[in-house]
Structure 1
Amino acid sequence: MSEYKGVIKIEDHCWASSWDHIYIKLVGTDGESQPKSLVYPYLSPESDFKIEVDSNNSIGKLVLIELEKNPGYLLPQNAWFPAKVELESPEGETFHFPIHRWIVNDEAHQFREATACLVFDDTHPLASQSRTEELKLRKKQYCWSIYAEGIPHCMKVDDAHALPDEVSFSFTKEWEFKLNKLHGLIELKLDGLADRKEQWRSIDAIGKVFRHKQTTLSEYVQQNWKKDSLFGYQFLNGVNPMVIRRCSVLPENFQVTDQMVFLRGGRSLAEEMQSRNIFLCDYKLLDGLKANEVNGKQQYLMAPLVLLHKTPEDQLMPIAIQLKQEPSKDNPIFCPTDSEYDWLLAKMFVRSADFQDHQLNSHLLRTHLLAEVFSVSLLRNLPMVHPLYKLLVPHTRYTLQINFLARELLISDTGIFNTITSSGGEALQKILQRATSSITYASLCIRDDIKERGLESVPHFYYRDDGFHMWDIINRFVQGVLGYYYKDDSYVQRDTELQTWVLDIFEYGFLSRPESGMPQKLNTVAELVKFVTMVIFTCSAQHAAVNSGQFDYGSWMPNTPTTLQQPPPTTKGTADKSSLLDALPDVNATVKGMAAMWLLSKQSSDSVPLGHYPEEHFFEIVPHQHMKVFKGELALLNSKINARNLGLEIPYTSLDPALLENSVAL
């Protein structure tokens, strides 16, 4: 008689406990045990439930366990969320079986022993069969769907509650999100304004509404939004640091002359470009699109060009703005030397264009939609026992449900984006299609992206500085973990599951576009490490960089108008204070935009910071050592950022590791 002793540990979640009959069966290399009944154990997170499983003969090295759950007599079946099972063999060897998922039915569920294993090393027939059956089931659960032509594919699901339980919101996350959505306007004390379709009568009136829920940074923005210095600063360290690039030659459609601009230091544009002091922001992505209607009124969507100058004091200052792509007499180039309201109105059109680019391209496409592609491909192609699954699954948490809600509540025909923004309606899908057709692998890798945009030496570029540190820390962590399992390049080439994961991303995320530079297969360990670093960086750091500051910079609406409802000026000298007020969004569009940005910036109480792994998937010593180092390096970066921020007028916290989530969960 062989006896295996151990415990079942329950996840510390609401409703994770069970009063059902639980059955466990052990399967080893030399046989299997009979199912052992654990009748009415009331398994709860408060205590480990001890188990003993007997077998008439030795069943060898444990390969997997089967768990089955049936309701008791006259009792309804309830869901159960075990974390893991630990068992000790008669020979004293300990086996771990990570679960970390809801068991809701009375079917037998198999879970592999925790030791990570690549497909070509999984030679035992039972292990190989289990691996095949797991992926067969996953491919039925996680299917691809086309939400709209020309953009990354998404998971096929008709309702948020139809998502598999393992990827759904927790009870805590679900109710916090619902309450925040329900009470957003109330909490902001704006509920009485949500139905008012009239225009603002004064900037002071906006300020009175805005006094609730201010942050230190949002208050600073309200006080300084008219200043050129804050306008320029946001291209580097605001929520959309993805548009600016160094300018060495002026575009043919942006005919700025020395006579138009004032350059501190007295040199010409050509000399300043040669000295690498001139920068360009080009919103051609938005060109030629039909703007939305809001409250039955036509809105206006411009595709501006902005020229900026790095001054001798190392400030980035705007020196020229053209609001439409094609130069013409009715498309003047505005400069800081123009009248106060001409210049301010031109900057407002730029800030509104930046909002559209940020929300649809930098935020929705490049983090949310790509993170969903990474997640669905992972869940379809890599079994739980694969080391890459273990490494990446924490970075998929809540992504599928938050994206379903984004499609349902934000960008659907009745979603908020179509009711308050100039890029809603017909323009929305076209912007996403254009952005998808131009996205590249290099632009997702921050070091490559910054180099391509010529921004390596720009001073006070904290997104770049913190992003480089973050990328390198993640890269070292990935190298350490994956280098343990992939001993040389041949391991990468022979891993058919890995190659299918990468090919799925190329096909369904990048729509099989070779010009994107996205790998269709990986040949070396170095290529694998860079690719996985990109995935983790996108799902954690990059999402935080373009998400966390939305309320800070956008809740003061004049700094980030979600739409503008007057056409751009065609001549100089005609704008005044009333021109600004006439162009600004109506009251209801303003407050709904504030509420949306507040909701999208509000982390749930069960958020998991980057580098924290409450669900244990790895049990080998080496990955745990690298996790410890990873967490320590993130803590050190947190200290460095905090120390630097003490000396900054505007602290940059978007890439502070202590504030980052592991996944796209907001």
Structure 2
Amino acid sequence: MVVYEVTVFTGNSVNSTTFNNVFIKLVGTDGESNRKWLMSLKGASSFVRGAVSSFTVSCSTSLGKLVLIELDKQPLPLFPNDAWFCDKVEVKSPEGDTYNFPIYRWITDSKVYRFKDGKALRVFEDNHHLGRYSRQQELNQREEDFRWDVYVEGMPHSMKAENPLSLPCEVRFSFTKTTEFLYTASMGLTELKLKGLDNCKKKWDDIDSIRRVFCCKTTAISGYVQDHWKEDAFFGYQFLNGVNPMLIQRCTALPSNFPVTDDMVFPHGRCSLADEMKKGNIFLCDYKRLDGLNTNTINGKKQYLMAPLVLLHKASDDKLMPIAIQLKQTPSDDNPIFLPTDSEYDWLIAKIFVRSADFNEHQLNVHLLRTHLLAEVFAVSLLRNVPMVHPLYKLLKPYTRYTLQINYLARNLLISETGAFTQFAASGGEGMITALKRSVSSITYSSLCMPDDIAERGLEVVPNFYYRDDGVKAWNIIHRFVEGIFSYYYKTDGEVQQDSELQKWILDIFEHGFLSQAGTGIPQRFTCVTELVKFVTMVIFTCSVQHAAVNAGQYDYGGWMPNTPISLQLPPPTTKGTTSEATMLATFPDVNVTVQGMAVMWLLSKQSSDFVPLGQYPEDHFTEEIPRKIIKHFQRKLEDLSRAIKARNKCLEVPYTYMDPAEVENSVAI
């Protein structure tokens, strides 16, 4: 008779406890144990929240090397079948070997679940027949649980779900996340409702009225924005370090539809556009994707959304200053090029139309499509095609946390027919779908890889570009980490090529995320380790650092409505000299539109208390010593970067915190 020591770790999250009877079977290369009821002196408290409980399983002979365990739980008579969250099971064999079985999932029914030993195994080296069988059974169940759906034709596919409760338990919000999300969502409008503003369809009378509403929710940066939103230097700064640093590019030749002359932007012949372009000092932002969109009707009034072209100049003090704005794509007499030398309100209204265009471009393309929707594709493909025992699953699982539920809520609460964005943004409704489809056609693999994107836009040496500085450093740290992990598991390119689960994962992403468009540059299969490392780096960066960069500052820069109007209700001036403060106020969105926008941006910028920062692996899916050391090294490098960013920010008038690893969430979770 031999004895196996079994230790069961119940999770520490709310509602992890079960009072059902729990059973285990050990399966090894030389046999299997009987199904054993796990009963100890602790009795009913053996599987309460946070419990660590030990048991013994006796067998007539050694089972050899353990391959997997089978777990199930059965309700007591007259008691309900409750949910149980099990973290892991450790088994010590009579030979003195310790086997770790990562679980980290809810067990909600009475089915038998199989879990492999924590050592990562690629499909071609999983030699035991029961190991291969359990691997395939797991993927068969996953394909059933995680099904693709087409939300809108021409868009990345999503996960099929009828409601949040129809999502598999393992991808739903925690109790804490659910409670805090609902609280923040309700409280975002409560104070404004009490003031009777959420349904007030009047125009703003003066800037002070906006200030009084804004004062109920401010941040350090949103207060700065309120004080500096009219300034040209701050307007230019936001193209680099605001929530949309993705549009600006170095200008080497003026677009043919933007007829700016030297006399317009450099009076008195002090320099020329040609010379400044050669020096790399001229930059362009072109919102052409917004051209001709069918705009929204809000409060019975047609809204206006322009597709501006903005020219910027790096001045001698290294500040990026706007020097020309054309609000529509086609040059004409009624589409003037606005200049800083124009009257105060002519120039200010031109900048306001740019900021409104930037809001819509940012929300639909930069934020929704390029982080949320792509992160969902990466997650669903992982869960459908890669079993828990695979090193890719172990590596990427933390970067999928909460993404499927937050995206379900976004589709339901923001961009559905009754969603806040659909109702209150200039591009809501038909225009939103058109803009999204145009954005999909603009996605390339290189634009998702930060170093490549920066180089393609010619922004390598722009001063004070903290998004680039912090982002490239974070990209490189992630890249070295991924390289370390995969170099451990894949010694040759041939091993990558023969890993059918890896190949199914990338092909699913190509087909469902990038709609089988080879022109995007997204690989359809992996041919070498280097290719795999770069793609997985992009996935981790997109789900964590990039999402933080374009999400976390939304209220900072958009809470003060005049800096980021979600809609505008008068057309832009067709001649100069006709704009006043009264025109500006009449152009701004109505009171209810403003406060709805404030509430949504407040919600989308709010971290929950169960936030997990970049690089943390709270679930021990990796059990081998070398990968665990690589993770520790990764975390130290992220801590070094965090310290460097904090030290730099002490010297900045406007700190740039969004890519500080300590502030970056591991996944698209809000």
TM-score (ref. length: structure 2): 0.98
Cα separation, partners in 2 of 1:560 and 1:176, compared to 1, 3 Å: same
The code of the aligned residue for 1:356 comes to N
The CA distance in 1 between the partners of 2:44 and 2:93, in whole Å, is 22
* SS in structure 2 at match of 1:260: helix
Tell me if structure 2 keeps the 8 A contact 1:320–1:333: yes
Instruction: Report the equivalent of 1:20.
Output: 20
Tell me if structure 2 keeps the 8 A contact 1:320–1:336: yes
The CA distance in 2 between the partners of 1:354 and 1:428, in whole Å, is 14
Instruction: Report the equivalent of 2:645.
Output: 641
Tell me if structure 2 keeps the 8 A contact 1:263–1:309: no
The code of the aligned residue for 2:368 comes to L
Tell me if structure 2 keeps the 8 A contact 1:96–1:114: yes
Deviation at 1:124, TM superposition (A): 0.9
The code of the aligned residue for 1:486 comes to Y
| Aligned match for 2:213, one of 198, 209, 213 | 209
| Aligned match for 2:328, one of 324, 328, 343 | 324
| Aligned match for 1:480, one of 460, 479, 484 | 484
The CA distance in 1 between the partners of 2:613 and 2:589, in whole Å, is 36
Deviation at 1:264, TM superposition (A): 10
| Aligned match for 1:297, one of 285, 296, 301 | 301
1:319-338 CA distances to partner (integer Å, 9 max, x unpaired)? 00000000011000000000
Instruction: Report the equivalent of 2:508.
Output: 504
The answer on 1:420 being equivalent to 2:420 is: no
Instruction: Report the equivalent of 1:607.
Output: 611
Instruction: Report the equivalent of 2:117.
Output: 113
Cα separation, partners in 2 of 1:263 and 1:102, compared to 1, 3 Å: farther
The answer on 1:233 being equivalent to 2:234 is: no
Deviation at 1:41, TM superposition (A): 3.8
| Aligned match for 2:531, one of 527, 531, 544 | 527
The code of the aligned residue for 1:25 comes to K
Deviation at 1:263, TM superposition (A): 7.2
| Aligned match for 1:547, one of 532, 542, 551 | 551
1:226-258 CA distances to partner (integer Å, 9 max, x unpaired)? 000000000000000000000000000000001
Aligned-pair identity in percent equals 60
Instruction: Report the equivalent of 1:101.
Output: 105
The code of the aligned residue for 2:254 comes to L
Deviation at 1:70, TM superposition (A): 0.7
Deviation at 1:169, TM superposition (A): 0.4
Instruction: Report the equivalent of 1:333.
Output: 337
**What does 1:337-486 align with in structure 2 at a 5 Å threshold?**
337-486=341-490
1:14-34 CA distances to partner (integer Å, 9 max, x unpaired)? 010111010101111111110
The code of the aligned residue for 1:22 comes to V
* SS in structure 2 at match of 1:152: coil
The answer on 1:186 being equivalent to 2:186 is: no
1:183-226 CA distances to partner (integer Å, 9 max, x unpaired)? 21125676521010110000111011111221111000000000
Cα separation, partners in 2 of 1:425 and 1:105, compared to 1, 3 Å: same
Tell me if structure 2 keeps the 8 A contact 1:218–1:555: yes
Instruction: Report the equivalent of 2:2.
Output: 2
The code of the aligned residue for 2:643 comes to S
Tell me if structure 1 keeps the 8 A contact 2:14–2:49: no
Deviation at 1:2, TM superposition (A): 1.8
| Aligned match for 1:492, one of 493, 496, 502 | 496
TM-score (ref. length: structure 1): 0.99
1:75-97 CA distances to partner (integer Å, 9 max, x unpaired)? 11110000000000000000000
Tell me if structure 2 keeps the 8 A contact 1:493–1:523: yes
The CA distance in 2 between the partners of 1:389 and 1:602, in whole Å, is 28
Tell me if structure 2 keeps the 8 A contact 1:9–1:45: no
Deviation at 1:265, TM superposition (A): 9.2
* SS in structure 2 at match of 1:307: strand
Deviation at 1:639, TM superposition (A): 0.7
Cα separation, partners in 2 of 1:187 and 1:119, compared to 1, 3 Å: farther
Q: Which moved more, 1:44-53 or 1:282-291?
A: 44-53
The CA distance in 2 between the partners of 1:418 and 1:199, in whole Å, is 20
Deviation at 1:11, TM superposition (A): 1.1
Tell me if structure 2 keeps the 8 A contact 1:63–1:112: yes
Instruction: Report the equivalent of 2:596.
Output: 592
Instruction: Report the equivalent of 2:128.
Output: 124
The code of the aligned residue for 1:317 comes to M
Deviation at 1:600, TM superposition (A): 0.4
* SS in structure 1 at match of 2:101: strand
The CA distance in 1 between the partners of 2:424 and 2:613, in whole Å, is 32
* SS in structure 2 at match of 1:657: coil
Instruction: Report the equivalent of 2:30.
Output: 30
Tell me if structure 2 keeps the 8 A contact 1:395–1:662: yes
Tell me if structure 2 keeps the 8 A contact 1:239–1:358: yes
Deviation at 1:414, TM superposition (A): 0.4
For structure 1, the residue ranges without an aligned partner over 5 or more in a row are none
The code of the aligned residue for 1:272 comes to E
Tell me if structure 1 keeps the 8 A contact 2:266–2:272: no
* SS in structure 2 at match of 1:232: helix
Deviation at 1:259, TM superposition (A): 1.1
The CA distance in 2 between the partners of 1:483 and 1:164, in whole Å, is 33
* SS in structure 2 at match of 1:301: coil
1:403-439 CA distances to partner (integer Å, 9 max, x unpaired)? 0000000000000001111000110111111100110
Instruction: Report the equivalent of 2:571.
Output: 567
Tell me if structure 2 keeps the 8 A contact 1:18–1:80: yes
The CA distance in 2 between the partners of 1:291 and 1:306, in whole Å, is 21
Cα separation, partners in 2 of 1:334 and 1:45, compared to 1, 3 Å: same
Tell me if structure 1 keeps the 8 A contact 2:283–2:313: yes
The answer on 1:170 being equivalent to 2:170 is: no
The CA distance in 2 between the partners of 1:46 and 1:99, in whole Å, is 14
Q: Which moved more, 1:256-265 or 1:328-337?
A: 256-265
1:501-551 CA distances to partner (integer Å, 9 max, x unpaired)? 001111100001111001111111111100000000000000000000000
The CA distance in 2 between the partners of 1:665 and 1:513, in whole Å, is 28
Tell me if structure 2 keeps the 8 A contact 1:117–1:386: yes
Instruction: Report the equivalent of 2:620.
Output: 616
Cα separation, partners in 2 of 1:264 and 1:504, compared to 1, 3 Å: farther
The CA distance in 1 between the partners of 2:475 and 2:268, in whole Å, is 35
Aligned length: 666
The CA distance in 2 between the partners of 1:265 and 1:77, in whole Å, is 81
Tell me if structure 2 keeps the 8 A contact 1:543–1:664: yes
The CA distance in 2 between the partners of 1:618 and 1:407, in whole Å, is 34
* SS in structure 1 at match of 2:222: helix
Tell me if structure 2 keeps the 8 A contact 1:84–1:100: yes
1:469-514 CA distances to partner (integer Å, 9 max, x unpaired)? 0000101111111110011111110101001100111110000111
Tell me if structure 1 keeps the 8 A contact 2:15–2:49: no
The code of the aligned residue for 1:5 comes to E
Tell me if structure 1 keeps the 8 A contact 2:263–2:269: no
Tell me if structure 1 keeps the 8 A contact 2:29–2:64: yes
The answer on 1:626 being equivalent to 2:630 is: yes
The CA distance in 1 between the partners of 2:621 and 2:282, in whole Å, is 49
The CA distance in 1 between the partners of 2:305 and 2:451, in whole Å, is 32
The answer on 1:270 being equivalent to 2:255 is: no
The Cα RMSD (Å) is: 1.1
Instruction: Report the equivalent of 1:252.
Output: 256
* SS in structure 2 at match of 1:140: helix
Tell me if structure 1 keeps the 8 A contact 2:11–2:50: no
Tell me if structure 2 keeps the 8 A contact 1:138–1:380: yes
Tell me if structure 2 keeps the 8 A contact 1:370–1:509: yes
